[in-house]
Amino acid sequence: MRTRVEIVQDRLQRRLGRADGPGPVLADVDPVVEGSSLTVARAHDLLTDMLTSRSLDVAARRLKASGQSYYTISSAGHEANAVIGALTRPTDPAFLHYRSGGFVMSRSRQIPGVDPVRDTIRSFTAAASDPIAEGRHKVWGSVAGWIPPQTSTIASHLPKAVGTAFAIERARRLGYALDVPEDAIVVCSYGDASANHASALAGINAARYSQRRGARAPVVFVCEDNGLGISVDTPRRWINASFSGLPHLKYVPAEGDIDEVWAAVEEAVEHCRRTRGPVLLHLKTVRLWGHAGSDVEATYRTLPEIETDEERDPIALAGERLAALGAADGDGMALLAAEVDERVQRAADVLAGGATLPDRAAVMAPLAPWHPDEMAADAVGALPDDERRAVLGEDLPEDATAPARRTMAAHINAALHDELARRPEALVFGEDVGRKGGVYHVTAGLQQRFGLDRVFDTLLDETTILGVAQGAALLGFLPIPEIQYLAYVHNALDQIRGEAASLSFFSAGQYTNPMVVRIAGLAYQKGFGGHFHNDNSIGALRDIPGLAIACPSRGDEAARLLRTAMAMAAIDGRVVAFLEPIALYHEKDLHQPGDGEWLFDYPAPGAEPLLPGDVGIYDPPSGAEPTMLIVSYANGLRMSLQAAELLAEQGVAARVLDLRWLSPLPLEAVARQSEACGRLLVVDECRATAGGVADALLAGTIERGVTVPMSTVRAADSFVPLGPAADTVLVDTGQVVAAALDLAAR
């Protein structure tokens, strides 16, 4: 029994061969219709690219049958997107839907030395020689073609496409040199079903919002509408009804004959390039052969429905139209189709079975690059004092703290001033960070000092904030986005997990989006605001491969950690979460009200950085030899130091270790210190079950052969309630003392 793939391809060959024209074929330089920029030569190239994309889809399914291909989501029926590849430039960043084979073929045609057939085969056979992902995934991607790889996206790439467009315009205003020309635009394709996804709506809304505010966002959203989301149909005219009437968004329908699609795409691209505003290009397509090779389309669609779509095969329709216009002849197109298919199948046979990634180290190599010497050198970089004074004023932060030490908020603020001063590529943005200076005044004065183009407020949407960060980073900026509260990260977590932190992995390190995401978080705000302002779980962040998490416990170290995080992003292209304990922002005291022992002098630029693995050590206040190690971070460190004082009064000498970095954890240092002290108590202010780091610390210590008595103090598995009831579910100093005494008695 013949497959639908065979039926469609046989019918395509027959339709092309039978296509009739009015007479002699036009010359290569002639337009296919009067006034069109689509010449006969360009139409021939376009048809070749569409046929090439189709043959690659056939090859992927053929090789899958022999276990040599691992990805069969095809572009069949979407080949008209080749027009977009032909009418945009290789310097227009493109964030592509997984059915964008035609686009990639057409764009690759503009780049000398790129062979998209070879590259695509290596990608879907998971070959280590795949030039973009090295076999980690089948992705459309190209460094030469400015196509950052996307995985099986459900529109989660739209926010960063908007961020990239936004960054092009911001760079122009700042005079910041980019790798793309000033009139570059961004292309972003996605499916009609994905148009309903929150990420898609956030991206489109952000582009419109930017346009309304005068910030500009030159992005062409390409909705490739085949009417299906796997088995669920999209209501007729849904995309048109949902998006055609939106203000600050140019809507351009693209359907009909190939020359009409060409004209519509040309209109959309030229409008975007000229006005620097967002456009939604609604490209009507069909989906052939089901969602993927494993999808049995006949289980949810009737045969007449399937055959109706097959009659709308865009390649056959394009060939018939070109023949009718005198731009091609049937025999020539049939021969072209056979030649393209033979070339692709021959390449597939040669390339199939290539070596895949051999081991874990090879797979993970681009996930978390680590160059500590270069990082350390970058972290201690500083402007000369005269240049710092020219930017920051005559009173430098370290001078101002001589008579009066500072809180953590003041230290972070000063460090941000210094980082923005020495890094012209650094940007600070988020909700309320500009004129207001942040909810807790941590960004106060930055906008006045560095201007609206480098320190700016965004709309209230974490997905957009992180999308802007990714796009800006892709173009060479070093973003410092702020997420107002830890709980709000979960509104947009996939922008870190599925997008930002995965980019280096799926591009073999050829694309990175370095950033330092400042997150105000954790609990102990005396019950203010309830759960959303006292979120005490970092499990969702620690789950993300390659994400680094720094968490300061005291002000001076917050400045040094921030500089190190910036260096990690700048040197290794890393995504770093900088988790700032809200309750410690303005804390001054340690043991007694008024003691001022949680105020510290500002460490001037050049102070020693705090790299992952560099832990803080506090010896027993009695000076005795320690018999216990207490490990903690953030608010827990302060409680542990308070507990150490109280334990000393009862004859227990406890050394306290500050983790500083929660990912990667300093497991070697904890194991070494635990063995030296003879007991281990982990004080984890986050929720007990997968919310914090206690389980990983104990497991890591045991796996390193340490057999000392161990215990933990952890918060309850509860959301944090409002008001005084918050204290019932959080860790406190009394619990630390009780647990330490119990451990000491073992």
Q: What CATH number is associated with residue 457?
A: 3.40.50.970
In a domain, 604, yes or no: no
- Between 391 and 635, whose confidence is greater? 635
- Between 343 and 404, whose confidence is greater? 343
- Backbone angles phi and psi of 120, in degrees to 5: -70, -40
Among 532, 560, 584, where does a domain finish? 584
Asked if 87 and 131 sit in the same domain, the reply is yes
For residue 177, give Cα distances in angstroms to 173, 476, 639.
10, 9, 48
Q: What CATH number is associated with residue 632?
A: 3.40.50.920
pLDDT digits (tens, 9 = 90+) for 101-152: 999 999 999 999 999 999 999 999 999 999 999 999 999 999 999 999 998 7
Q: Are 37 and 59 in contact (CB under 8 A)?
A: no
Residues 6+ apart with CB under 8 A from 420: 426, 428, 446, 449, 450, 454, 455
646: number of Cβ within 10 Å: 18
Asked if 93 and 228 sit in the same domain, the reply is yes
Tokens standing for residue 33: 């219709």
In a domain, 447, yes or no: yes
Asked if 330 and 409 sit in the same domain, the reply is no
Identify the three-state secondary structure at position 224: strand
Asked if 530 and 409 sit in the same domain, the reply is yes
**Does a cis peptide bond (omega within 30 degrees of 0) precede residue 664?**
yes
The residue ranges of DSSP E strands in 586-627, in sequence order, are 616-618
Tokens standing for residue 651: 């004859």
How confident is the prediction for the chain on average, in pLDDT? Answer: 95
According to DSSP, the β-strands at 426-430 and 478-483 are parallel
Asked if 190 and 315 sit in the same domain, the reply is yes
Examine the pLDDT at 402 and tell me if it is beyond 70: no
20 pLDDT band (50/70/90 cuts)?
confident
222: number of Cβ within 10 Å: 28
Examine the pLDDT at 691 and tell me if it is beyond 80: yes
In a domain, 449, yes or no: yes
Exposure pattern of 714-739 as b/e (b: 16+ CB <10 Å)? bbeeebbeeeeebeebbbbbebbbeb
pTM here?
Answer: 0.96
Beta bridge partners of 219: 186
Q: Are 479 and 430 in contact (CB under 8 A)?
A: no
Exposure pattern of 124-134 as b/e (b: 16+ CB <10 Å)? bbbbbebbbbb
The closest of 574, 543, 128 to 359, measured between CA atoms, is: 128
State the total domains in the chain.
Answer: 3
400 pLDDT band (50/70/90 cuts)?
confident
Asked if 386 and 339 sit in the same domain, the reply is no
Asked if 104 and 225 sit in the same domain, the reply is yes
Distance CA 80, CA 226 (A): 12
Asked if 391 and 298 sit in the same domain, the reply is no
Q: Is the dihedral of CA 247, 248, 254, 259 positive or negative?
A: positive
Q: Which amino acid is at 27?
A: A
Measure the CA dihedral 40/41/43/48, to 10°: 140
In a domain, 125, yes or no: yes
Tokens standing for residue 539: 């499990």
Distance CA 433, CA 446 (A): 9
pLDDT digits (tens, 9 = 90+) for 272-304: 999 999 999 999 999 999 999 888 899 999 999
Domain with 568 in it? 372-584
Identify the three-state secondary structure at position 675: helix
In a domain, 609, yes or no: no
State the Cα angle at 82 between 227 and 30, rounded to 5°.
Answer: 125
In a domain, 590, yes or no: no
Asked if 376 and 321 sit in the same domain, the reply is no
Q: Which residue has the tokens 């359907």?
A: 255
Mean pLDDT, to the nearest integer, of 218-239? Answer: 95
Distance CA 614, CA 617 (A): 10
Our answer to whether residue 157 is catalytic in this structure is no
Asked if 653 and 562 sit in the same domain, the reply is no
The closest of 647, 702, 645 to 671, measured between CA atoms, is: 702
In a domain, 597, yes or no: no
- Backbone angles phi and psi of 282, in degrees to 5: -95, 100
154 pLDDT band (50/70/90 cuts)?
confident
Asked if 338 and 383 sit in the same domain, the reply is no
The closest of 553, 601, 558 to 442, measured between CA atoms, is: 558
Catalytic residue selected from 157, 197, 533, 586: 533
The closest of 240, 261, 234 to 315, measured between CA atoms, is: 261
In a domain, 687, yes or no: yes
pLDDT digits (tens, 9 = 90+) for 643-679: 999 999 999 999 999 999 999 999 999 999 999 999 9
Q: What is the pLDDT of residue 539?
A: 96
Asked if 626 and 733 sit in the same domain, the reply is yes
Locate all alpha helices (DSSP H) within 93-186, ordered by sequence: 101-109, 116-124, 158-174
